[in-house]
Amino acid sequence: MATTYVPRENDLATAGWWPDIQLCMQLFDRLVEAWPERTIVPALAERWEISDDGLRYVFHLREGLQWSDGKPLTAHDVEYGVKRVLDPENPGGSVSVYFVLENAQDYFFGRNDDADSIGVRARDDRTVEFRLIAPAPYFMNVVNRPDGGPAPRHAIERDGVAWTGLGRQVVSGAFRLESADDDRLVLVRNESDMRPRRGNVSRVEYIGASADEAFGPFERGELEMIRVMYTPVSSHHVRTAKTLEGPLTWFGYLGFDHTHPLVSNADLRRALAHAIDRDALADAAPANLVVARGGIVPPALHGHTPEIALPFDAERAREHLERAGGGDALRVAAHEAWAPMLEVVVSGWRETLGLEIDLYLFDAAGLEVRDAAGQPAKILDLAPVGVLGWLPGYPDPEYMLRLLLHSEALTNAGAYASSTYDQLIEDARRAQTDRERLARFHEADQFAVSVDVALIPFVYGRSTSFVQPQVEGWWEFAKTSAPYADLTVG
């Protein structure tokens, strides 16, 4: 399988980028599992109960569960795994997801030092209870995440950071890690796996390559799958395969470093937004992308707000630039794959606003961002404006809106902070009805996009896989969690 990013992080707590999380899903079973159409089915848990008020979830684990080293897998491992993610000294890669639990957010930020008050508790070896701050219709998708399930405490405490090493990692899933380097990673079946699996795949090889590099070997039958995430791709290149395109679930945007003195000015951000001709941008968009004219929540998700991106208006753009006191030279950073679309944006800023724009395009092998000296970096370390992407870890507007822009979300890449926005998100999180909840999320989306211009919507995208006809069982929905052990290769 060719992939634009070879996973590198096999610790289920610290894996934060989706390819790494998806790798951990092959190594570690969760309480439940998502199947196509996001259907939730039992996995480690054989059954569960949800309280009438939606604030308490109780899961009952299957009897006789074991880790790959033969040690018992219990509900205490679930409690340990979730609390490990919330450790303030060494937080998990997706720690903000777990702020839905009672006292989790206060514990993480030091407002409560009682770990026992966090809303996860093993009642006994086979029963674990979660307590939530408010009804969360997406919570079953949270416990489909590897960091929301059991972690092998005995191995982690015994081996420390070395517990993930080749040949020694204790797992609970269908696969174990056989080898790994920067350009290639190999999984083989976990011989001690006790769960029945639907597929016949016994070995998975990840090979790092761009889609363009992989098309030739794929058409010669040397690869069985190409996975493309986060970047533009033209699906017409492949003719000998099934092209599996998910719905419009990921969001590409022009993000700002809100600590930078130039783009911290809201009028400058409004000027930039009004100076983008989205009709011209649509002409440059490849097949898997649609120009974003709505809000942060993509069209395929419940809670999408259409037609709220500020429209092209040269006169208003110049008025906002004047209010901002003009603009200095502005640097914009992006992966080189975005060049054709970004040239449209940059040309509009130059022609409409008269701004001097320095477009910095980087060639990121494996989608890793590096600075001019070749050192790892974040996009907004390279420039105050950059093209970034965001995929929903669960199909709910809360993931898109809270984790991207809330001031206490660790995934808030641009350090955006607004008490108005935060309050709208908190009101939505604590709403007692779905109608009220969605209304507050719509307000938050509109405020961020149309009023404060915390970011500029750029595109909505489809995660895309090219799959050979003999491969059955793969499916796409944003951050797909399709298990390789359920694939059948004819």
pLDDT tier for residue 144 given thresholds of 50, 70 and 90? very high
Scan for tokens 């590099």, then name that residue: 213
Give me the CATH code for the 1-246+463-490 domain, please: 3.40.190.10
Answer whether 1-246+463-490 and 250-461 agree in fold.
no
Q: What is the mean pLDDT of residues 479-490?
A: 83
**CA gap 247, 329 in Å, rounded:** 38
Give the model's pLDDT for residue 197: 87
Write out pLDDT tens, residues 85-104: 999 999 999 999 999 999 99
Please report which confidence band the pLDDT of residue 195 belongs to, taking 50, 70 and 90 as the band edges: confident
pLDDT of 373 above 80: no
Report the alpha-carbon distance of residue 440 to residue 82 in Å, rounded. Answer: 28
CA distance 15 to 348: 38
Locus of tokens 């770990």: 115
Of 422, 383, 381, nearest in space to 401 by CA: 422
Q: What is residue 319's predicted lDDT score, i.e. its pLDDT?
A: 98
Task: Give 416-470 pLDDT, tens digit per residue.
Answer: 999 999 999 999 998 888 899 999 999 999 999 999 999 999 999 887 788 899 9
pLDDT tens digit string along 102-142? Answer: 999 999 999 999 999 999 999 999 999 999 998 899 999 99
pLDDT value for 379: 92
Distance CA 147, CA 201 (A): 24
Give the model's pLDDT for residue 293. 98
What's the confidence (pLDDT) of residue 39?
Answer: 82
Query: Is 487 a residue whose pLDDT tops 80?
Result: yes
Give me the mean pLDDT over the 305-325 stretch. 97
Mean pLDDT of 288-303: 94
pLDDT of residue 236: 53
pLDDT, tens digit (0-9, with 9 covering 90-100), for 222-279: 999 988 766 676 555 555 566 766 788 889 999 999 999 999 999 999 999 999 999 9
Q: Where are the domains of the chain?
A: 1-246+463-490, 250-461
Mean pLDDT over residues 393-402, rounded? 92
Polymer length in residues for the chain: 490
Q: Which fold is adopted by the domain 250-461?
A: Dipeptide-binding Protein; domain 3 (3.10.105)
How much is the pLDDT for 368? 65
Q: How far apart are CA 17 and CA 83, in angstroms?
A: 20
pLDDT digits (tens, 9 = 90+) for 9-59: 999 999 988 889 999 999 999 999 988 766 899 999 999 999 999 999 999
The pLDDT, as a whole number, for residue 393 is 83
pLDDT at 139: 96
